[in-house]
A = this chain, B = another copy of it.
Amino acid sequence: MSNEEIENRIFKALAAPVRRRILDALKDNPMTTGELADRFDEIDRTTVMQHLRVLEAADLIIPVKRGRVRWNHLNPLPIKDIHDRWIGPHAAGAVDKLAKLKAGLEGEVEISAKASSE
């Protein structure tokens, strides 16, 4: 499989909101497939498993079997690759400052909007 095909799989996997929310759930800790099915109980279990397969095919999750239980781990490396592809090491510091500046400005706008509505 070419790099381009691998990348297509990654971005197509990330294009679905529910798959992004599954990765959110796995950010801090791995979860079993059963735990994920319980967490996303508005979706039927078969569909959750299909989403897990799409994420696994994109290498965004790594399944680890322990006995009959499948633990799903978030794989951060493809995410890091996206960052490093378009934000080089020399730019990372500047982007960080820019993000903080933007967050600060938005915070101030919210504060002043809140103050003026009070």
The answer for the CA separation of A102 and B78 in the assembled complex, in Å, is: 12
Contacting pair B87 A80 (CB below 8 A): yes
Other-chain residue from B4, B83, B95, B102 in contact with A82 (beta carbon distance below 8 A): B83
Q: How far is it, in angstroms, between the C-alpha of A96 and the C-alpha of B11 when the chains are bound?
A: 21
Decide: A7 near B12, CB < 8 A? Known: A87-B79, A91-B76.
Answer: no
The SS class assigned to the A binding surface is helix
A112 at interface by CB-CB < 8 Å: no
Task: Give the total of A residues in contact with B, Cβ under 8 Å.
Answer: 30
Given contacts A76-B95, A80-B87, contact A17 B8 (CB under 8 A): yes
- A19-27, A46-54, A65-73 - the one binding chain B: A19-27
Q: Report the minimum CB–CB distance from A46 to chain B (whole Å).
A: 23
Closest chain B CB from A98 CB (angstroms): 7
**Quick check: B80 and A99 within 8 Å, CB to CB?**
yes
Which A residues fall within an 8 A CB radius of B?
4, 7-8, 11-12, 14-15, 17, 20, 23-24, 27-28, 74, 76-77, 79-80, 82-83, 85-88, 91, 95-96, 98-99, 102
